[in-house]
Amino acid sequence: MTTETNLVELDERMRGRDFLSLHDFTRDEIFYLLDVAKELKALQKAGKPHRLLEGKTLGMIFTKSSTRTRVSFEVGMYQLGGSALFLSSADIQLGRGEPIKDTARVLSRYVDGIMIRTFAHEDVVELAKYADIPVINGLTDLLHPCQVLADLLTIVEHKGKTDGLKMTYIGDGNNMAHELMYGGAKAGMHVVICTPEGYEPDAEVVRLATEDAKANGGSITLMNDPVEASKDADVLYTDVWASMGQEGEANVRANAFQGFQINGTIMKVAKPDTIVLHCLPAHRGEEITDEVIEGPNSVVFDEAENRLHAQKAIMAVVM
C-alpha cells in the first residue's frame, strides 16, 4: 500500500471482518495489513494526522488485565480520530452472568467495533458470531494475533523480509507458540517451536500451520532441545513460563522449564545478527536473561511499540 486510495479500496473488501486469528487471513491480506501499519507508523512519526476512524468508538472488553493491549488500543483509537471504552468484567453484565450473545448484540448497537482480551477462545468466537460489528481478538488462552502481526512488522523492519527466515520459539506451547506458527507459516518462515516434553503446542494448530507453511515455502518443526533448536536462527522468541491463569502451576513449571531460556549459550549458536523478541512482560532471569534483553540483538521494545501500529492497521481496515 502506498496511497490513501489503496487503503480505501481494500477497506471496502475487508471492512466488517473479524480479526480472530492470522490463520483466517490470506498471505496477501496479512502483508497488506503490514503495509498499512508501516504507512500509519510513518504518518505518526511525521506528526501527520491520520484520522481514518473519525467519530468511531471501540468497546474494549477485558477479563484479563494488560498494559500493552489496553494502552495501545486506546491510544491507537485516539490517533485514528475515534474513542475507546474500557469495559472490565466487573463493569459490565458479562461479569454477572449475561450471555455472551446478548452482550454482542447490545454492544453492536452502541459501538463500531469490539476488542476482547479473555481466557476462553470459544467466548471470542461466540462474541463474533452474534456481533454485527468487527470483533478483534486482543488475546485468548489459544491465540494472540495482534501480537504476532506486530512481531511480523518488527521482523520486516529489521530483516527486510520474512520468507526463508528461521524463527525459533523457546518456551511453553501456548497462545504465543500457536499464533507464531500461524503467522510464520503465512509469512513463509521456518518456525521451530521448542518446548519441554509435555508442554508441546496444540496438535490441531500444528496441523493447520504445517499446511499453510507448505503452501508458502516455510515449515513447522517441534523440538525439545533449546540449543539444537536455536542453531542458525534468524529470530529468537520466548515468553513467560507460566501465563496469566497458570500461577498455581508456577513452581512445577519452573522445574520443567529449566534450560529453556534465551541466554548467552543460545545467542552463540544463533546467527550473529539474530534478533530477539519477547511479547512482554518478561520475567528476567527465567525465560530470558537481563543481559540478552538489554543486549544489541534485542528488539523487544521496537516490538512492543509496534503493537500500536499493527493494531491501528487492523482497526483502520476492518472498522
**Nearest in space to 58 (alpha carbons), one of 119, 143, 134:** 134
51 tagged catalytic: no
Tell me whether residue 194 is annotated as binding: no
- Is 239 one of the annotated binding-site residues? yes
**Catalytic site residue from 50, 239, 278, 311:** 239
Residue 307 is among the residues annotated as catalytic for this protein: yes
**What's the CA gap between 68 and 78, in Å, rounded?**
15
284 annotated ligand binder: no
Distance CA 259, CA 306 (A): 29
For residue 226 the three cell numbers come to: 533449546
- Burial degree of 5 (CB within 10 A; 0-12, 13-18, 19+): exposed
Active site residue 144: yes
Query: How wide is the angle at C-alpha 30 spanned by C-alphas 66 and 215, nearest 5°?
Result: 120
- Which residue in 35, 112, 121, 147 is the catalytic one? 147
Q: Is 144 annotated as a binding residue?
A: yes
**66 annotated as belonging to a binding site for a ligand:** yes
Burial zone of 113 (CB within 10 Å; 0-12 exposed, 13-18 middle, 19+ buried): buried
The DSSP symbol for 202 reads P
Catalytic-role residue among 17, 70, 144, 278: 144
Would you say 289 is a known binding-site residue? Answer: no
Known catalytic residue at 105: no
Q: Is 255 marked as a binding-site residue?
A: no
Q: How far apart are CA 274 and CA 183, in angstroms?
A: 19
Which amino acid is it at 186?
A: K
Helices 203-215 & 175-186, crossing angle to 10 degrees? 20
Check the annotation: does 221 bind a ligand: no
Whether omega before 281 lies within 30 degrees of 0, making that bond cis, reads: yes
Check if 194 is active-site.
no
Of 117, 121, 178, 253, which is the active-site residue? 117
Q: How far is CA 312 from CA 12, 76, 176, in A?
A: 17, 5, 20
Q: Is 68 annotated as a binding residue?
A: yes
Is residue 70 annotated as involved in ligand binding? no
5 has binding-site annotation: no
What letter does residue 24 receive in the DSSP assignment?
Answer: G
Say if residue 69 carries a ligand binding annotation: yes
279 part of the active site: yes
121 assigned binding-site residue: no
Query: Active site residue: 17, 50, 178, 307, which one?
Result: 307
The residue from 17, 190, 278, 279 that is catalytic is: 279
Region class of 85: left (phi > 0), else alpha (psi between -120 and 50), else beta: beta
Binding residues for carbamoyl phosphate, as ranges, are 66-69, 93, 117, 144-147, 279-280, 307
Q: Which residues are catalytic?
A: 117, 144, 147, 239, 279, 307
Binding residues for L-ornithine, as ranges, are 175, 239, 243-244
Binding residues, as ranges, are 66-69, 93, 117, 144-147, 175, 239, 243-244, 279-280, 307
